Structures are given as structure tokens and as C-alpha cells.
Amino acid sequence: MAPDRLQKPLAPPGAAGAEPYLPFARPSLDEDTIAAVADVLRSGWITTGPLTRQFEAALSDYFGGRTAMTFTSATAALEAALLVAGVGPGDEVITPAMSFAATANVILRVGAKPVFVDVELASRNIDLDRVEAAITSRTRAILPVHFAGRAVDMDRLYEIAGRRGLRVIEDAAQAMGTTWRGRRIGACGDLVVFSFHPNKNMTTIEGGALVLDSPAEAKLAELHRFHGIQRTASGDIDVELAGGKSNLTDVAAAVGLGQLRRLEAFNARRRDLAALYFARLGADAALALPDRNDAGHNWHMFNPLLPLDRMTIDRNEFIRRMHERGIGVGIHYPALHQLALYRRLGHAQHSHPDAERIGRETVTLPLFAGMADSDVERVCSAVRDVLCGAMSGGAG
């Protein structure tokens, strides 16, 4: 197989002669995948077609034979999953207070109310101890997030949901290849949604998937995916509901097929890189490192917390100084209830302390399959350098 063709952004302005800029995420696209995309473009069939069906079949095999439906984004798949589960106006959906905005936005988009629950500081996942207390007579579903690829406690999650008669829509956008007690996320459960955005463990450029069991619900998801259209036995078109349009293209599917074949290798490399981060940063008591006690973690992201209460600079300045050293740093994520939309909806601003702390202090360090060990060394050296000059009593 030909070597990867990796995007290599230029060094930041003013950094002439510096090492190449290292982003916090970058997809790995090999020459075979690029050639497959060219074949699709030459074929004349570039929208949903045979390669999309092939990709969905490969995903179904990966998830142990469950139905896998592709979408243009995980956001579209999450919204379809909520609709398939019958969530709508007047319903409540319990979800973590710390995630990407789409997790809560889709609940609003179907007319329901997101009920935020705090997360665990160590795992960054929804605190299941608090979930039960948040259930009311209007609760229709739980929408947990497998944050950064670490699995939620699936046994306890589904025990709570089953006992209370609730649907579960898993936001597994970051959990492609994650396992829980040896079983792949998506190979079991209720409605499970994955993302194939370019910063994820595998990509289709843009895209996502919904994994489910029920043939009737798969048919309903298809109606929501493509205009509500259903073909009659005579071949005529009828419209069952006001569906949207979020069907994946064969161009995207060609990328997905190449990525899926390499997913296990990608994730193995991410685990090695995460282990190296722990080895290099573990002795630095200044940073609060993510919990590493999960063998099934796919290490989608590496998100330590900054010791802002002991720093003479804020997070934005930390990120700027890392950028000066040619290293990209992200923020994943602000607390949802503190975003403008949810403030306007009346969500209390100081009600979920762990989510709020993570939202204030989190930074996302580079982690992607194409990184070399030396890249981790470079990041850790830069982190130590910036922190050394930014701690109270330091050189400044």
C-alpha cells in the first residue's frame, strides 16, 4: 500500500524555519483511498449509489450484523434517532452538561427539552448517579455521550433505562472502535450514532451513521433521511412525512471504506500515543490528566485540565503561546448550559460544577494516527515550557 498523503499546514506567520505546524487533529488518507475517490468521480455516479450501500454493509458487519445507515453528519443522524424514538414536543431528554453543542441542539430541534446532568470529572462522561434523580414523568430518553472515546458504563446506563422504560440514544460520535467489556460500542444497545468528521478516528470527509436493530425503525429513519419518500409497489413515489435530506454520497463512502479498513490500526496508534502522553506528562502535577483506566478507550482526544488557579495567564494566552511554538490546541468543550442559547432558555449558570470546571480548564492536545513519537515529545516539551513561565512565582 502506498504511504499516507497527509495534509501538512504551513508554520504559523512569523515562524520561518520552524518545525511544521502540528494541528490537534489531522486525517490520514492513503493513496489507495485517494485513487478510489478518483474512480468514483470518473464513474459518473457520485451521489448515493453502490459504494454507499457497500459502505453500509461493511459498517453492518463491523457492528455484528446490526443495521447501519449513513448520513451526511452525525448531527443529522442524532436528530433522526430522536425522531425514530418518538421524542417530540413536551418530552424531556437527559443529556450531559458538557459536550459539543449538537448533542443538545438536536433535542431542541425535535421540540423536546434537554435536561442537563453533570459529568464525572475523571471520565468526563455523564454522571449516572445524577441521571436517576433527573428523571420525571416527561422524560422520554437518555442521550449520553461517550466523551473522547471513553465508553459510558453501559451496564448501568441500560439498567436505569430499562427499569424506567426510557429509550437510549448514544452519542458515540467520538467512539468509533471503542469497546465496553470487550464489545464494540454500536454492536449492542438501542440507537447509536457515530461521526465521520475529519477530526474523528475515521472520516468520510463529512458524515455519520445511525446503528439500530428494528427494521420498522430503520424504515422510519430512511424516511427522515430522504424527504419522507416511499416507493409504492408499482414504482410510484409517495411521501409519508416531511423528511429532510441527509443521504451520504458515493464519494464520501469511498473514503469511508478505505478508512474502515484501517480503523483498528489507527486506534492502536492512538492508544500508543496516549500512553506516551501519560508517560511524559504523568510526573507533572500541574496538569490534571484524563483518566486512563479503560482498556477499550479509542483515545479520540487527549484533554488535560490546566491549573488556571495557579497560572498567571489565562487559557487563551496558553493556547496562543503553544501556537507560537507551532502546536495547535483545541477546547473540548464549554459547558452547554453556559452557552448563550441555553442561558436564554433559563438553564441555571452554576448548577453543574464538574462540567463548568472542565469547560473553563480543558485543552485538547494534538492526537492523531499520523503523529510520530517525536511529535508527542515536542508537545510535552512545549507544555512544560509554557507552564514553567506561567505558574505563579514563575519567570512569566
Catalytic residues, by residue number, are 200
CA–CA separation, 201 vs 147, rounded Å?
13
Q: Identify the three-state secondary structure at position 382.
A: helix
Nearest to 229 by CA among 103, 41, 48: 48
Beta strands 139-142 and 92-96 are parallel
Provide the H-helix boundaries in the chain. 31-43, 50-62, 74-84, 101-109, 128-134, 154-164, 215-225, 250-281, 315-324, 340-344, 353-361, 373-388
**Angle formed by the axes of helices 50-62 and 250-281, nearest 10°:** 40
Q: Considering only CA atoms, which of 302, 327, 332 is closest in space to residue 379? A: 327
H or E stretch at 46: none
Sign of CA dihedral 260, 261, 266, 267: positive
